[in-house]
Every structure is written in C-alpha cells, then in structure tokens.
C-alpha cells in the first residue's frame, strides 16, 4: 500500500517521524514523503530529517515566502502533480498549516483517501489561519485521528456523527516522538545556564502585530533581568525584530535549533513560555509548566489541569504569571495516550483499507 505523507513545518516533521518509524517496520507499506518547503531554512528543516533518522523527502516542492493564497495555491498545484504520478491509496496530513489543507484538497479532488492526524482541535478563533485550515481539513478527511477526548467532543458537536467520516481517538503522536527521542537529546553549541526559561515566538498573530510583539518582548526582557530567557528565533521573526525598535537586551537570542537540541533545553528548563501549540504539549510531556503567549489554545486540557497559563500578549500578565508560577505540579495524568498513537494510527489505516476492499 502506498501512502503519501505531506509535511512542511517543524511540528509536522516531528509528528511524521513517529509514524514513519512505524511504517518502516512493515515491508508492505510504501511511504513517500512530500516536503512542501514551507519551512525551508536548513535549521528548520534538513536537520530534523537527519536527527530523526527517517527517510528524507522524495519530493521537495520549495514553496515558501509567499502570502497564504499564493502559497496554498502553489502547494495544491504541485501536490496534485505528485499524486497523479504516484497514485497512492492514502494521503496523510498533519496539524493545521497551509501544507495540511493543500494536501487534503489535492487528494480529495483526485478521490484519494485522506487521513488527518491531530484532527478535531479548535481554538474557536476564526482570525487564525490555522483554525481555518484545520476545520476545512477535518471536513474532507476520511479518517480523523483525534489526540484527545475534547477533540472528539468538538467534532461530535459539529455533527460529524452524521457525516461520512470515521472519528478515532488515537492519542498524540508527538508524545510518541518525545518518549523515543528523549534519550537522544543533544546539548546545543552554546553555554546553557543552570536555570533558565525556554521561550519561542512565531505565530503571525504575535509577530505581525507590533503592539503585541513589543508587549511580549518587553515582558520577557524584564523577566530576563533575573532569570535567563533563551529564545530560539525563526528567521522570519528575527527579521521583524531586527527591523523594529524592540527591547531585547536581556534576552539570549539563538538560531533555530534541531529537535534533539530543543528536547535537551525543554528537559533542562524550569519553565516554558511559547505561542507554539506543539511546544505547549512538549512542556507537558517533560513535566515543565508552561505560560502560553496567546489569547486561546487548542490544548484546553492543559489549561484546565493547571499545567498551562494563558496570558495573551499582555506584558503585565506575562510578568504576573511568571511571578506566581506554581512549580509543584503533579504531571502524572494521562492526557495524550501512552506513547502508542503511531501504532494505533497504522493499524487503523490498514483496517480501514481492508474494509474498503470488501
């Protein structure tokens, strides 16, 4: 059976790595990885395939640096050509990026079955491009692999029990990856303080809004006066900061890091601050509290459980959340499965495929 996996961004490389390892155990599965090029910098892309020891993409579409419409349109066109050439039984998409919706649309229009890993998540903020991508991808997918009970509940509320699609609670493949790669963690090439905060900022809602970005950076800069803050910067975010007049004197700015270096820093940090959905979960996997620099999150169970604090882009709330942070949190709760999501997804696709041939 031939499966085309569509990836384009850092979190998708991590998710795909977990499932690709499962596919490689079975000779009757032919997985072909297509990289749209959405994250094209070597530090954001190539290093992940090397570190994770998974097959490099058969196709690299080299689509990046464009607006949403142009990027999604070019991805749709080029992915369609790949699918016509390869004629797979399945297309596998992850998460909520432009690569996700383009892959699902291209497949569906060619009557190829679509499996969506990380289905059912909702921020309920339609101003987010990711929210639009995930909603539309869910609607046209045949198999929806939901990581949590809340994701299943979201889809049931939207009437998916009346639609021709199958909802399955799979657990989270990112936890599979975290468990597998934890022992392979690598120290970065800079001196890491004994105690520090790990921070990332990349979402357009923060980086494209000078007021929000200034407020976030100001809050971080104040915290960093007494608590080192390590901030790996996406090239796009770095360019925005360099062009502006932001106060970052106290922050430790570093280049984008590979997954194994990020795992090392998460494990060594005392606190994670981020606007990344994936890093919110990775903080939980490695038992670190998280402050989320967004107004809402798809991972509501982390907020409800007290593992995650939402502060938006408010400087005072950022500082207050840090000062009142509880570090004595019991992380011994199973929110995302037990590290077997990849095996479950593999078996489910096989079963679904076998049923379709009956």
Are 159 and 200 part of one and the same domain?
A: no
Specify whether 33 is located in the same domain as 164. Answer: yes
| 145 in the same domain as 7 | yes
- Active-site annotation holds for 202: yes
Same domain membership, residue 144 and residue 206: no
| φ and ψ at residue 347, rounded to 5 degrees | -65, -35
Q: What is the pLDDT of residue 341?
A: 97
Number of separate domains in the chain: 2
The verdict on 218 and 281 lying in the same domain is yes
Give the mean model confidence (pLDDT) for residues 350-357: 85
pLDDT over 60 (residue 10): yes
Burial of 97 (C-beta count, 10 Å sphere; 0-12/13-18/19+)? buried
For 215-267, the pLDDT digits (tens) are 999 999 999 999 999 999 988 889 899 888 898 999 999 998 989 999 999 99
Between these two residues, 52 and 176, which has the higher pLDDT value?
A: 176
Domain with 60, as residue range(s), is 2-172+337-357
| Residues 197 and 224 grouped into a single domain | yes
Residue 8 domain-assigned? yes
Q: Is residue 233 part of a domain?
A: yes
- Do 318 and 346 belong together in one domain? no
Question: 115 and 233 share a domain?
Answer: no
Same domain membership, residue 163 and residue 261: no
Residues 6+ apart with CB under 8 A from 265: 188, 192, 198, 230, 257
Token duo for residue 348: 């489910």
C-alpha span between 329 and 186 (Å, rounded)? 26
Asked if residue 156 and residue 202 are part of one domain, the reply reads no
**Are 244 and 156 members of one domain?**
no
Tell me if 84 is assigned to some domain: yes
In the predicted model, is pLDDT for residue 98 greater than 90? yes
Residue 51 has pLDDT above 90, yes or no: no
- What does the radius of gyration of the chain's CA atoms come to, in whole angstroms? 20
Q: Same domain, yes or no, for 343 and 305?
A: no
306: pLDDT strictly greater than 60: yes
Q: What is the mean pLDDT of the chain?
A: 94
Tell me if 186 is assigned to some domain: no
Confidence band for 45, pLDDT divided at 50, 70 and 90: low
Q: Looking at the domain assignment, is residue 181 inside a domain? A: no
The reply to whether 179 falls in a domain is no
- Whether 42 shows a pLDDT value over 60: the answer reads no
Give the pLDDT confidence score for residue 338 in this predicted structure: 85
Sheet holding 90-94, edge to edge: 59-60, 30-35, 2-7, 90-94, 113-117, 143-146, 166-169
Considering 35, 39, 116, 202, which one is annotated as catalytic?
202
Residue 49, pLDDT above cutoff 80: no
CB 251 within 8 Å of CB 176: no
* Residue 205, domain CATH: 3.40.50.2000
Q: What is the rounded distance in angstroms from the CA atom of residue 11 to the CA atom of residue 200? A: 13
**Of all helices (H) and strands (E), which one includes residue 202?**
none
**182 in any annotated domain:** no
pLDDT computed for residue 53 by the predictor: 79
């Amino acid at each position: 059976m031939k499966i085309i996996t569509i990836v384009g961004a850092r979190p998708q490389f991590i998710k795909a790595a977990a499932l690709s390892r499962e596919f490689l155990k079975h000779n009757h599965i032919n997985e072909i990885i297509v990289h749209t090029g959405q994250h094209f910098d070597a530090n954001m892309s190539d290093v992940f395939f090397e570190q994770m020891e998974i097959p490099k993409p058969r196709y690299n579409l080299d689509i990046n640096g464009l607006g949403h419409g142009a990027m999604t349109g070019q991805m749709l066109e080029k992915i369609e050509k790949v699918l016509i050439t390869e004629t797979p039984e399945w297309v596998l998409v992850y998460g909520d990026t432009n690569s996700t919706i383009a892959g699902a649309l291209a497949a569906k229009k060619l009557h190829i079955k679509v499996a969506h890993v990380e289905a059912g998540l909702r921020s309920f903020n339609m101003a987010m491009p990711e929210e639009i991508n995930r909603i539309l991808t869910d609607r046209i997918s045949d198999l929806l692999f939901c990581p949590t009970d809340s994701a299943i509940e979201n889809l049931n509320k939207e009437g998916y029990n009346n639609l021709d699609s199958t909802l399955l609670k799979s657990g989270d493949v990112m936890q599979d990856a975290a468990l597998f790669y934890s022992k392979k963690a690598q120290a970065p090439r800079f001196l890491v303080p004994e105690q520090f905060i790990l921070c990332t900022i990349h979402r357009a809602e923060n980086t494209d809004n000078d007021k929000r970005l200034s407020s976030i950076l100001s809050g971080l800069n104040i915290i960093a006066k007494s608590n080192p803050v390590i901030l790996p910067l996406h090239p796009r975010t770095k360019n925005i900061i360099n062009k502006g007049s932001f106060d970052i004197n106290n922050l430790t700015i570093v280049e984008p890091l590979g997954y194994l270096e990020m795992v090392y820093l998460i494990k060594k940090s005392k606190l994670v601050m981020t606007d990344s959905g994936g890093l919110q979960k990775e903080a939980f996997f490695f038992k670190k509290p998280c402050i989320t620099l967004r107004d809402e999150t798809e991972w509501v169970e982390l907020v409800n459980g007290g593992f995650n604090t939402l502060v938006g882009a408010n400087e005072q709330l950022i500082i207050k959340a840090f000062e009142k942070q509880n570090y004595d949190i019991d992380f011994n709760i199973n929110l995302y499965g037990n590290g077997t999501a990849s095996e479950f997804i593999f078996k489910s696709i096989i079963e679904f495929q076998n049923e379709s041939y009956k």
